[in-house]
Amino acid sequence: MQRGSSFFAAIIVSLLFHEFSKRLHKKNRELETAFQELQQTQNQLIQQEKMAALGQLVAGVAHEINNPLGAIKASASNTCNALQEAFVELPYLTQRLNSEEQESFFQLITRVLNAQSSSITIQDRELKRRMTSQLQAHEIEDARYVADLLIDMGIHEEFEFLLPLLKGDQSEWAIQLAYNLTCSFLNSQMILRAVDRSSKIVFALKSYARFDQSNKKQPLRVTDGLENVLEMYHNQLKRNIQIVRDYQDIPGVLGYPDELIQVWTNLVHNAIQAMESGGTLTIATYMQGNGIEVSITDTGEGIPEEIQQKMFEAFFTTKPPGEGSGLGLYICQKIIDKHQGFMKVESQPGHTQFRVWLPLETSEQS
């Protein structure tokens, strides 16, 4: 009888354990599904916040791309016109210039082609006045016009080698021909700079908008992400904000590049908004213990103490309705937590600094 009872009890326990295991397995599946859905929701929030920030950047980025495109178009048009005029006049070179003038002419061409490209601003009137005065001292006719052409060709000083050409009867014709011949070279340099500028903007946008679905950490350099963000905000920064870079030699880290770039974007965007009347944005990277630290400092109005205590909370915002989701810093905090790092803020009027610390070695985290 006792054996029968023990056997029956064992069966009951086995059935109960089996039922409990089934329920536990079901609950585990439900928890796993809920966790995956939570992750997907978080990723969607991150992507939505990223796209919202991108939407605010669109007008400025379009302007930044249109500028180099306009420069390319103008440079190409100038090159065509200059070459057309040069090809018409070039056959008369040996007829209109003597040997000394020809030597001076080709020295000018060579110097322009070998010169380092430099940007002389339209506002640099002092240089034009100085060159005009020097040319007038040598009794060069149309000194102001000649000075303009020479400056455009990158000749800013030491033009004595040109005196045989400038004092000749064909000086104005010869300088104009030299300008037309070198115009294609000068404009090609401008086109290369414009293309490089456009490429940087497109690369920065591509890096920002990408979404890595593998969710695996990758080797990265934080300065690359920081520079991409500064490239995207160039239109806002160039107006009245000075940028100071203090990048120390730091190693790369393992992380999620598309998420970290969102952190830098949010912090830079907030800094710009805090300096509506202008100021200085300082970005520094340096070693800190067994990790690296990024600090983003602005000289804006500062963040009140009561706001500092709440600004990392979800949906907290001080912006008018429709201008902010209140998720920016909350998402930044979650991203840094995911990297097993931390973020701190110190603020007072005229000095607000966000510091982000990232470990050099982290465990893989899904």
Q: Which of 87-101, 108-122, 311-325 has maximum average pLDDT?
A: 87-101
Q: What pLDDT does residue 6 have?
A: 61
Contact 114, 218 (CB under 8 A): no
Element holding 308 (H helix, E strand):
helix 305-308
Q: Which has more pLDDT, 348 or 127?
A: 348
Angle between helices 171-209 and 2-89 (to 10 degrees): 170
Look at residue 136 in the predicted model and tell me its pLDDT: 86
* pLDDT bracket for residue 366 (50, 70, 90): very low
Q: Which among 195, 128, 197 is positioned nearest to 157, based on CA atoms?
A: 128
pLDDT tens for 248-306 read 999 999 998 888 988 998 899 889 989 988 999 999 999 999 999 999 999 998 988 88
Of 293, 225, 233, 234, residue with least CA distance to 260: 225
How confident is the model over 94-106, as pLDDT tens digits?
A: 888 888 888 888 8
Cα dihedral 134, 136, 140, 145, rounded to 10, equals 90
Give the residue with greater pLDDT, 351 vs 54.
351
Highest-confidence segment of 59-68, 150-159, 191-200, 243-252: 243-252
- In the prediction, which pLDDT does 87 show? 78
Domain boundaries for CATH 3.30.565.10 within the chain:
212-359
Q: Tell me what pLDDT residue 12 has.
A: 66
What average pLDDT does the segment 39-50 reach?
Answer: 58
Which of the residue ranges 34-38, 192-196, 204-208, 242-246 has the most confident prediction, judged by mean pLDDT?
242-246
Query: For residue 121, what pLDDT is reported?
Result: 47
What tens digit of pLDDT does each residue of 140-168 get?
Answer: 888 888 888 888 888 877 778 888 888 88
Q: What pLDDT is attached to residue 37?
A: 60
**What is the mean pLDDT of the segment spanning 124-134?**
81
pLDDT tens-digit map of 77-93 = 887 888 778 878 878 78
Strand boundaries in 202-316, DSSP class E: 218-220, 241-247, 253-255, 279-288, 291-298
Q: Above 50 in pLDDT, residue 208?
A: yes
Residue 31: its pLDDT value, please?
61
CA distance 353 to 347: 6
Q: What CATH superfamily is the domain 212-359?
A: Histidine kinase-like ATPase, C-terminal domain (3.30.565.10)
CA distance 16 to 11: 8
Distance CA 198, CA 219 (A): 26
Lowest mean pLDDT across 46-60, 192-206, 244-258: 46-60
| Predicted local distance difference test score (pLDDT) of residue 285 | 97
- pLDDT the model gives residue 251: 93
pLDDT band at 47 (very low <50, low <70, confident <90, very high): low
- pLDDT category at 122 given cuts 50, 70, 90 is very low
Pairing of strands 342-348, 351-359: antiparallel
Residue 353 in this model has a pLDDT that exceeds 90: yes
